[in-house]
Amino acid sequence: MRTIPSGNVIITCAVTGAIHTPTMSSALPVTPDEIANACIEASEAGAAVVHVHVRDPETGEPNHDLDLFDEIAGRVQAETDVIIQPTTGGAPTMSPEERIQVVNRLEPEMCSCNMGSINFGLYPMLDAHDEWEYDWEPEYLDGTTDLIFQNTFEDLSVMLQTMNEYGTVPSLECYDVGHLYNLKHCVEQGWIEPPLHIEFVLGIHGGIGADSKNLTHMKRVADDLFGDDYSFSTIGAGSMEYPLTTQAVSMGGHARVGLEDSLYLARGEWAPSNAALVEKMVSLAWEIAGRTPATTEEVREFLDLKG
């Protein structure tokens, strides 16, 4: 595993995502203004990277409107030098062709890249549907319990080569151990060159469970496959957000938090903002591992971003 020379921790804040709905939490940013402000506040709180999805400003429904991405990036860049990492995952209902467009349009220094197909399965969402009022009827609730998030090898080849063409460094989202082997295949095909920056995603239905032993296992497999040629960050979905990110930080890795991944600041306590989630991560990283937040300059140098 590659470690950042300063020993600092790269904190990414995923401010809105495509899973939660505005009726679940009033803190979830929806409009371009709200999303941009959330990014700026997260940066002020210690995040070096902000992971961005966009939503229909009227309904809150996730979309992939490139003008919205552009507008948000412009506002954020006018106030901070935080690294903007647009999603190429979008939502599982969007095609890979649609999702990659943001790279052609924004030519960002970073973006996400999802390393394999998974079946998100709708059981948690169907349960939530009884509990939460939706502002729109999600397309995926249309009579099926399967929701395939498609990322075939052909898709990966196009995605990774497009990122390479624009000098965009991917955060390689691995939802299960098999995705690490997919990544190895992509390296062998020459679609991406190490060093790699991997995001271990634990706790998404259809992927590996949010469990401490699983995080250790993901890292062990990545060590075997990529040796010193990779760094990692971790997402713990839902209530495992802080247990798993603090474990990652104590293993020399990095951390992603934010309302995309969890709506709670602590058990039974709603997060009032993305910034509050970042502040908690900053304080835990210091308490548990004596690590402080990496600056944007350090991250740009470490990940060789084009800036």
Q: Which residues bind ligand KMH (CB under 6 A)?
A: 14, 17, 51, 87-89, 112, 114, 173, 201, 204, 235, 260
151 sits near Zn ion (criterion: CB under 5 A): no
Identify residues 64-123 at the interface with Zn ion (CB under 5 A).
87
DSSP secondary structure, 41-92, as one string: HHHHHT-SEEEE-EE-TTT--EE--HHHHHHHHHHHHHH--PEEEE-S---T
- The residues pairing with 119 across neighbouring beta strands, listed in sequence order, are 148
Of the pair 17, 170, the CB lying nearest Zn ion is at 17
CB contact at 8 A, 76 and 40: yes
CB contact at 8 A, 230 and 198: yes
Of the pair 51, 291, the CB lying nearest ligand KMH is at 51
The residue with its CB nearest to ligand KMH is 89
With CA atoms as reference, report the closest residue to 109 among 89, 85, 76: 85
Interacting partner of 249 out of Zn ion, ligand KMH, none (Cβ under 5 to 8 A depending on kind) = none
Beta strands 230-236 and 110-114: pairing type?
A: unpaired
CB contact at 8 A, 258 and 51: yes
With CA atoms as reference, report the closest residue to 39 among 259, 285, 271: 259
Minimal distance in Å, beta carbon 5 to ligand KMH? 27
245 sits near Zn ion (criterion: CB under 5 A): no
Interacting partner of 285 out of Zn ion, ligand KMH, none (Cβ under 5 to 8 A depending on kind) = none
Of the pair 34, 260, the CB lying nearest ligand KMH is at 260
CB contact at 8 A, 107 and 69: no
Minimal distance in Å, beta carbon 99 to Zn ion? 11
Interacting partner of 62 out of Zn ion, ligand KMH, none (Cβ under 5 to 8 A depending on kind) = none
With CA atoms as reference, report the closest residue to 51 among 101, 100, 11, 14: 14
Identify residues 7-36 at the interface with Zn ion (CB under 5 A).
17
The CA-atom distances, in angstroms, between 126 and each of 18, 137, 208 are 15, 12, 20
CB contact at 8 A, 232 and 200: yes
Of the pair 120, 191, the CB lying nearest ligand KMH is at 120
Mapped onto helix, strand or coil, the DSSP state of residue 229 is coil
For the record, the structure tokens of 221 come out as 């497999």
Of the pair 132, 286, the CB lying nearest ligand KMH is at 132
Minimal distance in Å, beta carbon 69 to Zn ion? 13
For the record, the structure tokens of 261 come out as 């991944």
Minimal distance in Å, beta carbon 290 to ligand KMH? 28
Of the pair 87, 234, the CB lying nearest Zn ion is at 87
Interacting partner of 114 out of Zn ion, ligand KMH, none (Cβ under 5 to 8 A depending on kind) = ligand KMH
Minimal distance in Å, beta carbon 261 to Zn ion? 8
The one-letter amino acid at 22: P
Of the pair 8, 200, the CB lying nearest Zn ion is at 200
Identify residues 267-306 at the interface with Zn ion (CB under 5 A).
none
| Residue ranges that bind Zn ion, judged by CB under 5 A | 17, 87
